[in-house]
Amino acid sequence: MYRRLVAVLSVVLFSAGCTVVRPGEVGVKRTLGRLDDRIIPSGPRVFNPLVTRVIKVPIQTRNMEVNLSLPSKEGLNISAEISILYRVKPEMAPDIVETIGLNYERVAIMSVFRSAAADVSSRYLARDMYTSGRLEIEHEIADTMRNLLGSRGFDIEAVLLKSISLPNNLFRAIESKLEAEQQVQQMAFVLEQEKLEAARLRIEAEGIRDANALRAEGVAEQRRIEAQGIRDANELIGGGIDEDLIRWQTIEAFRELSTSSNTKVIITDSESPLMIDAP
How many CA atoms does the CB half-sphere of 97 hold within 13 Å?
24
What average pLDDT does the structure give for the chain? 80
Higher pLDDT, 142 or 126: 142
Between these two residues, 236 and 153, which has the higher pLDDT value? 153
Q: Which of 3-12, 140-149, 151-160 has the lowest mean pLDDT?
A: 3-12
Instruction: Please check whether residue 127 is in contact with residue 169, taking contact to mean a CB–CB distance below 8 angstroms.
Output: no
Query: Residue 15's pLDDT band (boundaries 50, 70, 90)?
Result: very low
Range 184-193 average pLDDT: 82
pLDDT at 140: 95
Strand partners, 154: 88
Residues in a beta bridge with 159: 84
Q: Which amino acid is at 125?
A: L
Which residues, 6 or more positions from 264, have their beta carbon under 8 angstroms from its beta carbon?
Answer: 257, 275, 276, 277, 278
